[in-house]
Structure 1
Amino acid sequence: MTEELHPGRLDTLLIVDDTELNRALLAEIFKKTYRILEAEDGREGLEKLQAHRDEICAVLLDVIMPVMDGMEVLHRMKEQGLLARIPVFLITAEDSAAVVREAYELGVMDVINKPVIPYVVSRRVGSVIELFRARERLDHMVATQRSEIRRQANKIMDLNRGLIEALSTAIEFRSCESGDHVQRIHDITKIMLERTRFGEGLTPEEVDSISLAAIMHDVGKISIPDAILNKPGRLTPEEFEVMKTHAAQGCQMLERIPQLRDSEAYDYACDIARHHHERWDGRGYPDGLKGDEISIWAQIVSLADVYDALVSKRVYKSAFDFETAVQMILDGKCGVFNPALLESFLTVEGEIRKLYAPGAAGETQEGI
């Protein structure tokens, strides 16, 4: 009744009919083209369908059978999502319009009346099977191409990220920093977005893009003369005006890198580079934005930048300890921040401290 089956090959035709003569007739029609699997009722048919679902290319199904009829089989296959990938042909003497309509509504491919005409049923069944096979080949081809496109896109993203990180780190080295600053800004930004309400509504992909964009906040410093950028003492008013230009310069530089426009981080990066020195009271630069005119991500990077600067040693200062740095921020000694942002920052500041290796902050260094 059944030839040896080969798992993983869609070359098996399942015939479900309670009459042995009908099964034999259908098997004879298709035996040269397909492997044949038979079942005497609907329940046995479902069992064999489950056991060989990766081999069955079509089901020839009778309607009136004991134990479980053909319509119940169709309902079960519909529930399990099998009708979308395995074509079912109702081969029956049942001529009720209601039955035929219900079968088509459930998703049966064709209704073939008994007694069958061999060359007719062979052509109708074979054509549909080939159609399903072609669709499966196309789906597989599309899936393969999507996978390759995704792989290449990820490779490009990794390359872009590497270039972005290298550029940002190079700027930090030019500022006589260790290069860890940009990584900490990335990490602080991500913690704030993932662990506080300021990241609500953002997808994980958006959080990653904003965190990556954060490391480019000071890219405009490449335009600042070394004498000003690395001056060990306080800047003169004239020098400070030059230093302030790095915000707008950074945004303009990013806008002139066409490859960066394809990055999901691009818009965030331009906004952060330009506005991470804006202040909640409107006394920041370069645009004097106030309150919620400043994007959430620019606000977060601004706070992260100030915090990291306070607890890290710079050419113009020693590091403050964490408690002193937090108090200076709360007292408004480093600019005015969104009160709600500060409240959220305090809930994760203990976790942020873990980003700093022992001795990196002021506990073991001379304070000012």
Structure 2
Amino acid sequence: MAAISHCTILAVDDTEANIDVLMDTLGHDYELMVAMDGPAALEAVATAIADGAPPDLILLDIMMPGMNGYAVCERLKADATTADIPVIFLTALTEIGSKTRGFQVGAVDYMTKPFEIREVRARVETHLSLALARRELANQNQILEQKVRERTRELALTQDVTIHALASLAETRDNETGGHIRRTQNYVRVLAEHLREPFALADGDIEMLYKSAPLHDIGKVGIPDAILLKPGRLTEEEFEVMKSHLTLGMQALAVAEDAMGNEECHFLRFAKEIAHCHHERWDGAGYPQGQAGDAIPLSARLMALADVYDALISRRVYKPPFPHARAVEMILEGRGTHFDPRVTDAFLVHEEDFRQIALANADHQDEIDTLSQVYVRG
């Protein structure tokens, strides 16, 4: 904390004798500035602030011609750059009403003339000590807030990197790619933003949906390569094994959620819902639980459409990429059966956004070519 002896005091009084007393009393211990009226006091404060050295305390007379001390104090307290400078009124007024008004306009103390030298020194030292302590506390709070912001950014970055590392691990075992991760999470965010009001989604919810979307297929790490990478059609038994990636993903994320104890984690809740339910269908014909309608978590309903659209416009070992317009037709055919009608309608409003996201994150030239085609839907 700065030493009190380094502090600057502005003394404001229209009587030279009073200024001389204050100079003799305080001039040896502090840097003293002087003003003889209200406007000069305000100008002195403004100049000091411009020079980067505002006064640490103001001793202010009340009864001055033109602008009195109350008006000066009100002006100082109304300005954010001067509001925190402590003001002590020095005046011959002794009525309770005068003192009360002084505190009402923002003064920290009130001393009456004629001055008692020891009282002036003691009160000045006390209020300077308080002002410096408050300033030091504010500085420490700023330092702590900055450290918290830095730590928060570091944790968020660590979380994002971990999510993408886990998602990439799952994708490396599949025919899909890192582009699929980026595309689908951006599709989900576009849908969530559009549906913010009808589903009462807060900014934090949308951010967590975006961040958790890449983990939708994390359970595929538990599927044998012979099934996961099989280029042809899966047998009925193999398909049952493939479907288990939904439960495997949900269980892995549930372990992480349990480790949180009683701490609620929206990210893990959304990730679990998406991993487990993104193959459910609006009409109840999906898997693994055959949920229908609003019983399917919204996060999974968003992911279901995003995942299907991306599969349609992407190259697979068993098919070429479909043109965007054809993919839109197929999504529309699933409205009310495969997909939540409201989510489908949001997609139709933002289909061009989907196409641009797909183009920006395409993995293969043939995908770019088909996305760029002019296709007239029938």
2:295 and 2:368 mapped to 1: Cα distance?
A: 33
Give the deviation of 1:241 after TM superposition: 2.2
Paired letter, 1:21: A
Query: Do structure 1's residue 32 and structure 2's residue 28 form an aligned pair?
Result: yes
Task: Provide the TM-score with structure 1 as the length reference.
Answer: 0.88
Which is worse superposed, 39-48 or 325-334? Answer: 325-334
Paired residue for 1:238? 237
CA RMSD of aligned residues (A): 2.6
Task: Provide the TM-score with structure 2 as the length reference.
Answer: 0.86
Q: Is the CA contact 1:312–1:362 (under 8 Å) kept in the aligned structure 2? A: no
| Count of equivalent residues | 356
**Counterpart pick for 1:288 among 280, 290, 293:** 290
Give the deviation of 1:112 after TM superposition: 0.8
Paired residue for 1:5? none
Q: Secondary structure at the match of 2:33?
A: strand
**Counterpart pick for 1:19 among 1, 15, 19:** 15
Change (3 A) 1:260 1:23: farther
Q: Secondary structure at the match of 2:89?
A: strand
Which is worse superposed, 144-153 or 164-173? Answer: 144-153
Q: Is the CA contact 1:61–1:91 (under 8 Å) kept in the aligned structure 2? A: yes
Which is worse superposed, 352-361 or 120-129? Answer: 352-361
Q: Secondary structure at the match of 2:317?
A: coil
Q: Secondary structure at the match of 1:354?
A: helix
Over the matched positions of the two proteins, sequence identity in percent amounts to 36
Paired residue for 2:256? 257
Paired letter, 1:165: H
Change (3 A) 1:209 1:254: same
Which is worse superposed, 335-344 or 129-138? Answer: 335-344
Paired residue for 2:366? 359
1:99 and 1:40 mapped to 2: Cα distance?
A: 21
Counterparts of residues 79-90 of structure 1 (less than 5 Å): 79-81=78-80, 85-90=84-89
Paired residue for 2:112? 113
Q: Is the CA contact 1:199–1:207 (under 8 Å) kept in the aligned structure 2? A: no
2:204 and 2:120 mapped to 1: Cα distance?
A: 52
CA-to-aligned-CA distance 1:118-146 (integer Å, 9 cap, x gap): 11111112111111211211221222122
Paired letter, 1:294: I
Query: Do structure 1's residue 308 and structure 2's residue 315 form an aligned pair?
Result: no
Paired residue for 2:162? 163
Q: Is the CA contact 2:13–2:60 (under 8 Å) kept in the aligned structure 1? A: yes
Paired letter, 1:150: R
Paired residue for 1:342? 344
Paired letter, 1:285: Y
Paired letter, 2:30: Y
Counterparts of residues 36-55 of structure 1 (less than 5 Å): 36-53=32-49, 54-55=53-54
Which is worse superposed, 54-63 or 199-208? Answer: 199-208
Q: Is the CA contact 2:6–2:30 (under 8 Å) kept in the aligned structure 1? A: no
Query: Do structure 1's residue 153 and structure 2's residue 164 form an aligned pair?
Result: no
Q: Secondary structure at the match of 2:57?
A: strand
Paired residue for 2:71? 72
Give the deviation of 1:246 after TM superposition: 1.6
CA-to-aligned-CA distance 1:322-341 (integer Å, 9 cap, x gap): 11111111112995212122
Structure 1: any 5+ residue segments left out of the alignment? 1-8
Q: Secondary structure at the match of 2:321?
A: coil
Q: Secondary structure at the match of 2:350?
A: helix
2:187 and 2:115 mapped to 1: Cα distance?
A: 73
Q: Secondary structure at the match of 1:38?
A: strand
Give the deviation of 1:84 after TM superposition: 5.0
Q: Is the CA contact 1:193–1:199 (under 8 Å) kept in the aligned structure 2? A: no
